[in-house]
C-alpha cells in the first residue's frame, strides 16, 4: 500500500494533477469525464485534482486494500468489528429487498421488520391522537432524550425533512448541561408531552441524567402513576429499560450490530417517524437501500461511495490536505455537517490497524462545515486564501420546496456554483492588477494592493446535485457518506466501527465527580486539574 501511495504521489507530480485550472483549459469534456449520475443524483468531481492516471492508481489502491472484499464481508454479516466482536449491519435495517441476512446463522430480517412495524403502529397512534397522556389529552410535543448517535441523526433529519413534518412538535435534549433540558421543559405542558429515552446502551450518563430530570418533571406535575403514560424508550439493553420502569409495549429494540452513529435507520429514528409518518420514513430507508445496491454492485470507477472514499484518501494521503469542509447549500441540511462529523471522525479517528499495529497513513481528516450561503460570510475567506488547502464538498437541490421563492433558490444555486468556480479558477496577480487599474487605480498602488486580491485557485471541490431534498434523497445522501467512511476505513485498514477513544474521558469524568461534589480530595490529580477544581469549588454558589 505504501508503495502504491508513493507511486500516486509521483503520478500526481508528473501529470501536474494539482493544476485543476489547466486541466479544464486543456479538456472541454472534463465535466463529462469526471462526473457520474445515479437517478437524479449527480456527483461532479471534475474540480478535484484527478485525471485518468490518478484514478487508475486509486483503483489499484482499492484492489490492494481489498476494499470490495471487505465491503462484501460487511454486507454478509461477518464479524468485521473485531474489537467488539460484532457484525456491522446497519444495511439490514434498510434492506427493502428483504433478502435474508444471517447473524450467527439466524436471519435478522424478521426481527428488523417486526420492530419497524411496531414503530409504525406506535407512531401512528401518537400522530393520530389515539395515544393519550395520563389525563386523557393527546400528545402535542415529543422530546427525544439521547446523545451522539442517539440524537444527531433524528435532529439532523427532522430539520432536513421539515416540509414533511405533519406530526407533533419535536424537541431534542442531549447535553448534560441542565440548561438544555430546563429550556426545553419550559416549553412543555406535561399533560401533552411524550419523552423518548434513546440510548443504545442505556447507561450513557447524559441521557440517564436527563431522563431522570424528565421523569421528575412528569411525576412532580402529574403524579408517579402518570410516568408510564409519558415515556417510551429505544435501546438494545431491554433489561436496563425495564429497570427504569418503561412499559415493555413502549420499548423499541435494536441490535448490537448497529453502531450508534449508523442507527438512524433503526428504532432510533422513532421521533423522526412520529414527525413525518411511517410512509415517509420508509422512503428514507428506500434511499439508503438504493445506495446499498449501488455500492454493492457498481464497478469501482462508477461507484459513488468508492469514488468519494478514494478521492478522500487521495486528498489526505497523497496531497496532504488535513481537513474537509461539508458545505450544503440547503438550509435544512444545517445539521448535516455535525452529523457527518460524528459519522466520520468517530469512525475513522483511529491510529491502530486491524492487525493491532500503528497505522501507516494519516487517517480521518477533520470534518466540519456550515450551510451556504452563511458560511461564505464567515470562514470561506480561509478556504479561498488561507495557507491550508481544504477540499470542499458542496450539495445543492435543483428545486427548493418554496415554489413562490424560486428567485431565492436561483440565488442559492448561483452562489453555490460561484464558490466552486472561484476555488478552482482563482485570480492571478496580473488579473488582480488589471482589475484595479481598469478602475482608475495608479500603477504603484495597484502593485501594493493586487497581491492581497490574488486567489491561488486549484482548490479542489466536489458537488452533489439532487432534484429536491425529500426523504429518499436524504436517505441516499446519508448512506453515501456512511459507505464513503467505510471505504476510507478499509484503505486505512482500521476498524471503523468501535469508538474506544471516547472512553478515557468518560472514565475520568466518573472519577472526578466526587471531587467536583466536594466529597473527595483532588489529591492524585495533576496540578492543572486540581487547580481548576479548586477554583471552581471556591466560586461555586
Ligand atoms: O460518544 C460515544 C457514544 O458511545 C457514541 O458512539 C454513541 O452514539 C453515543 O455515545 C450514545 O450512546 P448510547 O446510545 O449508548 O447512549
- The lowest-confidence range among 120-134, 159-173, 511-525 is 511-525
Percent share of the chain, pLDDT over 70: 100
C-alpha–C-alpha distance, residues 534 and 540, integer Å: 10
Please tell me whether residues 4 and 117 are part of one structural domain: no
Q: What atom in ligand 1 is closest to the CA of residue 152?
A: 8
Which sequence positions are flagged as catalytic?
Answer: 346, 377, 506
Model confidence pLDDT, tens digit, residues 206-227: 999 999 999 999 999 999 999 9
Picking from 276, 299, 328, the residue at the C-terminal end of a domain is: 276
C-alpha cell at 286: 428506500
In a domain, 172, yes or no: yes
* pLDDT at 244 exceeding the cut of 90: no
Please tell me whether residues 214 and 147 are part of one structural domain: yes
pLDDT value of residue 125: 98
Please tell me whether residues 344 and 229 are part of one structural domain: no
Instruction: Tell how far the Cα of 145 is from the centroid of ligand 1, in angstroms.
Output: 12
Q: Does the model's ipTM exceed the 0.90 cut?
A: yes
**pTM for the whole structure:** 0.97
Model confidence pLDDT, tens digit, residues 57-107: 999 999 999 999 999 999 999 999 999 999 999 999 999 999 999 999 999
Please tell me whether residues 325 and 465 are part of one structural domain: yes
Please tell me whether residues 125 and 264 are part of one structural domain: yes
Instruction: Tell how far the Cα of 199 is from the centroid of ligand 1, in angstroms.
Output: 7
Q: How confident is the model at residue 245 (pLDDT cuts 50, 70, 90)?
A: confident
Q: Determine if ligand 1 sits within 6 Å of the CB of residue 502.
A: yes
In a domain, 349, yes or no: yes
* pLDDT at 347 exceeding the cut of 90: yes
In a domain, 52, yes or no: yes
Model confidence pLDDT, tens digit, residues 295-329: 999 999 999 999 999 999 999 999 999 999 999 99
In a domain, 450, yes or no: no
Ligand 1 probe mutation, 146, 175, 197, 200, most atoms within 8 A of CB: 200
Angle at the Cα of 142 from the Cα atoms of 137 and 145, rounded to 5 degrees: 135
* pLDDT at 362 exceeding the cut of 90: yes
* pLDDT at 247 exceeding the cut of 90: no
C-alpha cell at 373: 450561503
Residue spans of alpha helices (H) in 77-151: 109-128
Instruction: Tell how far the Cα of 445 is from the centroid of ligand 1, in angstroms.
Output: 57
* pLDDT at 394 exceeding the cut of 90: yes
Nearest CA to ligand 1 atom 6: 260
Ligand 1 probe mutation, 204, 255, 507, most atoms within 8 A of CB: 204
Q: Are 161 and 272 in contact (CB under 8 A)?
A: yes
Range of the domain at 305: 1-76+282-425+460-498
Percent share of the chain, pLDDT over 90: 96
C-alpha–C-alpha distance, residues 186 and 192, integer Å: 13
Please tell me whether residues 268 and 295 are part of one structural domain: no
DSSP string computed for 417-476: HHHHHHHHH-B-HHHHHHHHHHTT--HHHHHHHGGGG-B-----EEEEEES---HHHHHH
Nearest CA to ligand 1 atom 2: 502
| Range 14-42 average pLDDT | 97
* pLDDT at 239 exceeding the cut of 90: no
Name the average pLDDT for the chain: 97
Please tell me whether residues 109 and 24 are part of one structural domain: no
Please tell me whether residues 266 and 156 are part of one structural domain: yes
Residues 6+ apart with CB under 8 A from 485: 309, 343, 344, 347, 348, 496
Please tell me whether residues 300 and 415 are part of one structural domain: yes
Backbone angles phi, psi at 415, to 5 degrees: -65, -45
Please tell me whether residues 7 and 118 are part of one structural domain: no
Q: How many domains does the chain have?
A: 3
Model confidence pLDDT, tens digit, residues 461-494: 999 999 999 999 999 999 999 999 999 999 999 9
Instruction: Tell how far the Cα of 221 is from the centroid of ligand 1, in angstroms.
Output: 30
Please tell me whether residues 535 and 522 are part of one structural domain: yes
pLDDT value of residue 242: 85
In a domain, 514, yes or no: yes
The CATH number of the domain holding residue 529 is: 1.10.1390.10
Please tell me whether residues 250 and 355 are part of one structural domain: no
In a domain, 433, yes or no: no
Q: How confident is the model at residue 238 (pLDDT cuts 50, 70, 90)?
A: confident
Picking from 276, 302, 319, the residue at the C-terminal end of a domain is: 276
Model confidence pLDDT, tens digit, residues 415-465: 999 999 999 999 999 999 999 999 999 999 999 999 999 999 999 999 999
pLDDT value of residue 479: 98
Picking from 276, 291, 310, the residue at the C-terminal end of a domain is: 276
In a domain, 162, yes or no: yes
Peptide bond into 373 cis (omega under 30): yes
The CATH number of the domain holding residue 123 is: 3.40.50.10490
Q: Are 492 and 360 in contact (CB under 8 A)?
A: no
* Bridge partner residues of 198 (DSSP): 234
In a domain, 437, yes or no: no
Instruction: Tell how far the Cα of 201 is from the centroid of ligand 1, in angstroms.
Output: 8
pLDDT value of residue 243: 83
Model confidence pLDDT, tens digit, residues 118-128: 999 999 999 99
How many residues in the chain?
Answer: 541
Q: Determine if ligand 1 sits within 6 Å of the CB of residue 207.
A: yes
pLDDT value of residue 24: 98
Backbone angles phi, psi at 37, to 5 degrees: -125, 145
Amino acid at each position: 500500500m505504501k508503495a502504491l501511495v508513493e507511486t500516486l504521489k509521483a503520478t500526481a507530480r508528473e501529470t501536474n494533477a494539482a493544476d485543476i485550472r489547466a486541466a479544464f483549459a486543456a479538456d472541454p469534456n472534463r465535466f463529462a469525464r469526471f462526473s457520474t449520475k445515479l437517478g437524479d443524483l449527480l456527483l461532479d468531481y471534475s474540480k478535484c485534482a484527478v485525471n485518468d492516471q490518478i484514478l487508475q492508481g486509486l483503483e489499484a489502491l482499492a484492489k490492494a486494500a481489498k476494499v470490495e472484499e471487505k465491503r462484501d464481508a460487511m454486507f454478509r454479516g461477518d464479524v468485521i468489528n473485531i474489537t467488539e466482536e460484532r457484525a456491522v449491519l446497519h444495511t439490514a435495517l434498510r434492506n427493502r429487498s428483504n433478502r435474508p441476512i444471517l447473524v450467527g446463522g439466524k436471519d435478522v430480517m424478521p426481527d428488523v421488520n417486526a420492530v419497524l412495524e411496531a414503530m409504525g403502529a406506535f407512531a401512528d397512534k401518537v400522530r393520530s391522537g389515539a395515544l393519550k397522556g395520563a389525563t386523557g389529552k393527546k400528545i402535542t410535543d415529543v422530546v427525544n432524550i439521547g446523545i451522539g448517535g442517539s440524537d444527531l441523526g433524528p435532529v439532523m433529519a427532522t430539520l432536513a425533512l421539515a416540509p414533511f413534518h405533519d406530526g407533533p412538535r419535536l424537541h431534542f435534549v442531549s447535553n448534560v448541561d441542565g440548561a438544555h433540558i430546563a429550556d426545553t421543559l419550559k416549553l412543555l405542558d406535561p399533560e401533552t408531552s411524550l419523552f423518548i429515552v434513546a440510548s443504545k446502551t442505556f447507561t450513557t450518563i447524559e441521557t440517564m441524567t436527563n431522563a431522570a430530570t424528565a421523569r421528575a418533571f412528569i411525576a412532580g406535575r402529574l403524579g408517579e402513576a402518570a410516568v408510564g403514560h409519558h415515556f417510551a424508550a429505544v435501546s438494545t439493553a431491554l433489561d436496563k429499560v425495564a429497570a427504569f420502569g418503561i412499559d415493555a409495549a413502549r420499548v423499541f429494540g435494536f441490535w448490537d450490530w448497529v453502531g450508534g452513529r449508523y442507527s438512524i435507520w433503526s428504532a432510533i429514528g422513532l421521533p423522526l417517524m412520529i414527525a413525518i409518518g411511517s410512509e415517509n420514513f420508509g422512503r428514507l430507508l428506500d434511499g439508503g437501500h438504493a445506495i446499498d445496491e449501488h455500492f454493492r454492485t457498481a464497478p469501482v470507477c462508477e461507484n459513488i461511495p468508492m469514488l468519494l472514499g478514494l478521492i478522500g484518501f487521495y486528498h489526505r494521503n497523497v496531497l496532504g490536505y488535513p481537513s474537509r469542509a461539508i458545505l450544503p447549500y440547503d438550509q435544512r441540511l444545517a445539521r448535516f455537517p455535525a452529523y457527518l462529523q460524528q459519522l466520520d471522525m468517530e469512525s475513522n479517528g483511529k491510529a491502530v490497524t486491524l492487525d493491532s499495529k500503528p497505522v501507516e497513513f494519516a487517517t480521518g481528516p477533520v470534518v466540519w462545515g456550515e450551510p451556504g450561503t452563511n458560511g461564505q460570510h464567515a470562514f470561506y475567506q480561509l478556504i479561498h486564501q488561507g495557507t491550508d488547502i481544504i477540499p470542499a464538498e458542496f450539495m445543492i437541490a435543483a428545486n427548493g420546496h418554496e415554489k413562490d421563492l424560486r428567485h431565492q433558490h436561483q440565488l442559492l444555486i448561483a452562489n453555490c456554483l460561484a464558490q466552486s468556480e472561484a476555488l478552482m479558477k482563482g485570480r492571478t496577480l496580473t488579473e488582480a492588477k488589471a482589475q484595479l487599474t481598469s478602475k482608475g487605480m495608479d500603477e504603484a498602488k495597484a502593485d501594493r494592493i493586487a497581491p492581497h486580491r490574488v486567489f491561488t485557485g486549484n482548490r479542489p471541490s466536489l458537488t452533489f446535485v439532487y432534484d429536491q431534498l425529500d426523504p429518499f434523497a436524504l436517505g441516499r445522501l446519508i448512506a453515501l457518506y456512511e459507505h464513503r467512511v467505510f471505504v476510507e476505513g478499509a484503505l486505512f485498514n482500521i476498524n471503523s466501527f468501535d469508538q474506544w477513544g471516547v472512553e478515557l474521558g468518560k472514565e475520568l469524568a466518573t472519577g472526578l465527580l466526587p471531587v467536583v461534589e466536594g466529597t473527595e480530595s483532588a489529591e492524585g490529580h495533576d496540578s492543572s486539574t486540581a487547580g481548576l477544581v479548586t477554583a471552581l469549588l471556591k466560586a461555586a454558589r
